[in-house]
Structure 1
């Protein structure tokens, strides 16, 4: 099945609320557990960058998992960023900075970050090298990089089966977006090709029937 692009930004208010209130507990918790194992430093006090942060759930979870770090979280959707800003606990406000801006045009506050992570941004991008070049720009030797995203199924029937398995209790708008995201996602082989093109020494691993985890340390 060929890739079918979906809108790069989620700007519709109903769409934003549906996404922000959806049940992503399992994949988001798993992503944070993988990040904790990857960082392997409970007292981590470096600077983190969340690319395509959406409404900020992953950013907030990361901030709670590492109470000494500071995070810049960027997204191109203003409604998503507004939702994130309005959802920050008082204890996180001094450490979590939400930024509205579209990559790669927005200049970020730091020149380099100790960890760069991203969840479900890659499949939104018409050109995947936008993500990987931003990662290269803001990383340095030793920067930890971790990206989780969807994998494109082989057929539309397989995509519909995933909707039936994981999203039947979600609003219709979220089911539609999930289906479109699956069709817009990349295969493991395509992501490996992206790594080669970008010159990034990252490992690409399929971790479920719908997710891929891309990780490594910048050299």
Structure 2
């Protein structure tokens, strides 16, 4: 099945609110647990970069998992960033939410010890935007963790996944999940992207709809 692009940014207020209120605890907790296992330093007190933070749910979970760290979290959607800032509460002292589109955004520091990203890759018309941004803001020893959707092999499979995992969600979330599945990359495409980017990261299919990509640069 050919990839079908979806809008790069989520800026509709109803869409932003729906995502902020949705329960993504299962995949988001799984992502954070995988990062915790990969990083192997519960006392990590350095700087981390979250690319494509959306309304901040994964950012907040990362901040709680590593209570001594500092995070710069970036998103191209201003409504998403505003929603994340409004939800930060006591974590706001350790998180800087930054509005800007990759690769043009200016960050407060050049490189980071950990770079993570959840569900950004499939939004990008050019996947190299993500991989180049990771290279730009890394240094020797930077740990990278990326999770995203995998494109199913057919429209029928995509519809089945939506019914299985989002059948009880709002219509707007079901619609977006379906379009995101169609916009996602296959595992082989991701492997080719990493070779092109000269990034020695390991992509692994971890469910019927997710890929987890990790490595130390």
Q: What TM-score results when the alignment is normalised by the length of structure 2?
A: 0.99
Alignment deviations for residues 55-94 of structure 1 (CA, whole Å, 9 cap, x no partner): 000111111111110000000001100100000122x121
Matched residue SS, 2:115: strand
Matched, 1:178 2:194: no
Match of 2:215 in 1: 216
Quick check: 1:132 aligned with 2:124? no
State the superposition RMSD in angstroms. 0.5
C-alpha displacement of 1:168: 0.8
4+ runs deviating over 4 angstroms: none
**2:206 alignment counterpart:** 207
Q: Aligned partners of 1:189 and 1:23: how far apart in 2?
A: 30
| Structure 2 match to 1:160 | 159
Q: Give 1:19's aligned residue.
A: 19
Write the mapping of 1:18-97 to structure 2, written as runs, cut at 5 A: 18-90=18-90, 92-97=91-96
CA distance in 1, matches of 2:169, 2:82: 23
The secondary structure found in structure 2 opposite 1:136 is helix
CA distance in 2, matches of 1:56, 1:203: 25
Q: Give the Å deviation of 1:19.
A: 1.1
Q: TM-score, normalised by structure 1?
A: 0.98
Task: Write the distance in 2 (CA, Å) between the matches of 1:69 and 1:210.
Answer: 30
Give yes or no for the alignment of 1:192 onto 2:185: no
| 1:76-123 deviation digits (Å, cap 9, x = unpaired) | 001100100000122x12111100100000111111100000000000
